[in-house]
Amino acid sequence: MDCCDVAIAGAGIIGLTTALELAARGRKVTVFDQGEAMAEASRAAAGMLAGADPENPTELKELTQLSLSLYPEFLERVEFLSKKSIPIRTRATVQGLHEAPRDARTLSEPELLGRAPGVHANGWQFVQLDETSFDAWDLAEALPSAVRAAGIDLREHTAVLSARCDDGGAEIVTVSGTFFAGAFLNATGAWAPVLEPALPVMPRKGHMLTVELPGCVQMDCVLRTPQVYIVPRGGNRYTIGSTVEDAGFDRTVDPLRIHELFSRAADLWPPLREASIAETWVGFRPGSADGLPIIDQTGANRWIGAGHFRNGILLGPGTGRVLSQWMSGRRPEIDLSAFRLGRFVAASV
């Protein structure tokens, strides 16, 4: 009989970080993905670990801190297991705000120009944040190999069609047959409601582009405002993002949206006017009804980890850690009440 301790639907960052944590606790894990691992939101991302963004919801603070504390060890482990490198591309973010928090130190113009030569302040107040970023494509290349090297059974092109769970375990029907597991995790990102009807998660489409500047590197930090961000990707490449659209699972790349992003970025950082577009793409953030993740037990031997919206790369290792603790019968090390499904029921009565 085809079986394991834990079956996970979805091989994005949430499914795979949880799988790695469970495997480290000695659990036999199988992960199914309907397509290729790390080919959806987790690869589309800009790769900013934007834990210091003053615009983040306060409810994310503890999970953010946990995740950031795990990141160095997580990346080291993935690099070791996969034998692939995930270089840190930036170690600071310069963020423009409508109004900086009262206790924040705003950058003077010479400081701003020292960090991001040529930037146009355009009325924003800028603060410097201690944040790092990496290229999400590097993680997308390495993480599936790391997972396999850790002994996890990763089955690509194997959609989960349904999962029935009770006290005895989980019966999972996939396109290639039925599978049995001790427990089941739905980590299917924006697709999570397919397996969990009525779940308040929907795709929030984001357009992105990477441009190439002629000449050498001119900026080595992330430059971000509420309207646009510019992320150095090494050499003379910069990734620019992103829109947030409610357009279902429409994979069309709209040239008008790309043009709009490019112009916003070039208004903020005029050296980009010389750049040429190298790549464009879209991705589907899993957005929940209140923009916060959903991390919960939804029945006997059944869990959900979805809805990480704009911060799933940041929150991946932390989410994997708490889900693996919970699924192994331990108390998660941080309070997850803000992420439980009951909040939507409470909000609707």
Ligand X SMILES: Cc1cc2nc3c(=O)[nH]c(=O)nc-3n(C[C@H](O)[C@H](O)[C@H](O)COP(=O)(O)OP(=O)(O)OC[C@H]3O[C@@H](n4cnc5c(N)ncnc54)[C@H](O)[C@@H]3O)c2cc1C
DSSP state of 328: T
Q: Which stretch binds ligand X (CB under 6 A): 54-62, 73-81, 264-272, 301-309?
A: 301-309
Q: How far is the CB of 214 from ligand X (least distance, A)?
A: 26
Q: What is the 3-state secondary structure (H, E, C) of 24-37?
A: HCCCCEEEECCCCC
Cα 41 to Cα 283: distance, rounded to the nearest angstrom: 5
Residue 41 contacts ligand X per CB under 6 A? yes
Q: How many CB atoms lie within 10 A of CB 312?
A: 23
Among 184, 191, 262, 303, binds ligand X (CB under 6 A): 191
157 versus 330: smaller Cβ distance to ligand X: 157
CA distance 180 to 176: 13
Region of 67-75, 106-114, 258-266, 280-288 interacting with ligand X (CB under 6 A):
280-288
Give least dist CB 175 to ligand X, A.
9
Is 257 among the residues that bind ligand X (CB under 6 A)?
A: no
96, 169, 206, 232: which one binds ligand X (CB under 6 A): 206
Task: Look up tokens 């949430």; give the residue.
Answer: 14
> Which residue shows structure tokens 């290639």?
176
Q: How far apart are CA 32 and CA 23, in angstroms?
A: 15
The whole-angstrom separation of Cα 199 and Cα 183 is 19
Smallest distance from ligand X to CB 349, Å: 28
Rounded Cα–Cα distance for residues 314 and 227 (Å): 20
Binding status of residue 287 toward ligand X by CB under 6 A: no
Q: List Cβ neighbours of 295 (8 Å cut-off, separation of 6 or more).
A: 303, 304, 305, 319, 322, 323, 336, 339, 340
Interface with ligand X in residues 125-164 (CB under 6 A): 159-160
Using alpha carbons, select from 348, 30, 346 the residue that is nearest to residue 178.
Answer: 30
Q: Which of 311, 321, 324, 343 binds ligand X (CB under 6 A)?
A: 311
The answer to whether 10 contacts ligand X (rule: CB under 6 A) is yes
- Residue 195 CB, shortest distance to ligand X, in Å, is 6
Nearer to ligand X, 89 or 109 (CB): 89
Least distance in Å: CB of 208 to ligand X?
Answer: 5
CB 10 within 8 A of CB 33: yes
Q: How far is the CB of 26 from ligand X (least distance, A)?
A: 23
Q: Is 14 in the site for ligand X (CB under 6 A)?
A: yes
Does residue number 86 form part of the binding site for ligand X (CB under 6 A)?
no
Which among 136, 150, 163 has a CA at the least distance from the CA of 13? Answer: 136
Q: Is residue 67 at the binding interface for ligand X, with CB under 6 A as the rule? A: no
Burial class (CB in 10 A: 0-12, 13-18, 19+), 297: middle
# binding residues, ligand X (CB under 6 A): 46
Q: Which of 30, 47, 116, 303 binds ligand X (CB under 6 A)?
A: 47
Query: Does 34 help bind ligand X (rule: CB under 6 A)?
Result: yes
Does 313 participate in binding ligand X (rule CB under 6 A)?
Answer: yes
**Where does this chain bind ligand X (CB under 6 A)?**
9-15, 32-35, 39-42, 44-48, 50, 159-160, 187-191, 194-195, 206, 208, 241-242, 283-286, 306, 308-314
